[in-house]
Amino acid sequence: MSNADKFSVVLPVFNEQDNLETLFSELKRAADSTGRPWEAVFVDDTSTDASLSIIQKLAEAHDEVRYVAFADNRGQSAAFCAGFDAADSDIIITMDSDLQNDPADIPAMLELFGDECEMVIGWRAKRRDTFIKRISSKIANAIRDFIVDDGVRDTGCSLKVMRRDMLMRLPRFKNMHRYFPILMKVQGARIKEVKVNHRERFSGVSKYGTLDRAMAGIYDLIGVQWLIKRHIGYSVKEKK
């Protein structure tokens, strides 16, 4: 098995102490079943609970585990970017650390990823969120599709498989993780979607509000639309 088959699972963490051991156990079972080399890159965003100490213990016990610990709270997008920087593979898988994403979906997503697909996105056909969160998401998706249509059913699902070299070329800004599909498309990524399992939160509380997130999203959309319209792309015929 070549190192080109290796994949890195990037997991932002903020106060998820009760979920991490179960998450890693499920992830290891799913990742090992692929027969590929892999690693888990946890990024602790200055958790105030025991999350970091649990991650450190996992890293001591398992060679597959690596971690980055922020000095101050920087948010989910920064955590993803730190994970991309630290990753030691060409294939990146992103997912949440709250157990709502199911690691068992990873093998099937990797099967779709390949020569004719640079990004695979999970589609939560049956979401297990609160009613207000589902309604807020539908409104936000409608606004996003009107301003920036990425052609994706569920851009908010964190479970994604992507090419690292393309991710490293993306502009970095707060909340950029919400726009990975359209940003990857601008880079030329071909995208596939697959239905994935979505579970109720096992422990802890959601880190997202509703109104504050919606307002920030509208502001972000204006910036993303500007980036797309101003994007410079070219192909080289010859060089010396």
Using one digit for the tens of pLDDT, what is the confidence trace for 135-182? 656 666 666 666 666 678 888 899 999 999 999 999 999 999 989 999
- Give the whole-angstrom CA distance, residue 86 versus residue 232: 27
> Mean pLDDT throughout 229-233?
83
CA proximity to 179, closest of 141, 230, 211, 210: 141
- How distant, in Å, are the alpha carbons of 137, 139, 153 from that of 145? 12, 10, 10
Task: Kindly tell me if the per-residue pLDDT of 211 is higher than 60.
Answer: no
Nearest to 83 by CA among 48, 128, 42: 42
Query: Cα-atom radius of gyration of the chain, to the nearest Å?
Result: 18
The whole-model pTM stands at 0.85
Predicted pLDDT at 113? 96
pLDDT value at residue 130:
55
Residue 133: pLDDT above 90? Answer: no
Collapse the DSSP code of 107 into the 3-class scheme (helix H, G, I; strand E, B; otherwise coil) and give the result: helix
Predicted local distance difference test score (pLDDT) of residue 151:
73
Cα diameter, the chain: 59
pLDDT in tens, 101-128: 999 999 999 999 987 899 999 998 877 6
Q: Residue 88's closest CA among 125, 118, 63?
A: 63
> Over 80: is that where the pLDDT of 194 sits?
yes
In this prediction, residue 199 has a pLDDT band, given cuts at 50, 70 and 90, of confident
CATH superfamily of 3-129+153-205: Spore Coat Polysaccharide Biosynthesis Protein SpsA; Chain A (3.90.550.10)
Tokens at 230, concatenated: 């101003």
Task: Locate 197 and state its tokens.
Answer: 């399992």
Alpha-carbon distances, residue 206 vs 13, 63, 98, 99, 239 (angstroms): 12, 30, 9, 12, 51
Whether residue 1 has pLDDT greater than 60: no
Helix (H) or strand (E) holding 54, with range, is: helix 51-61
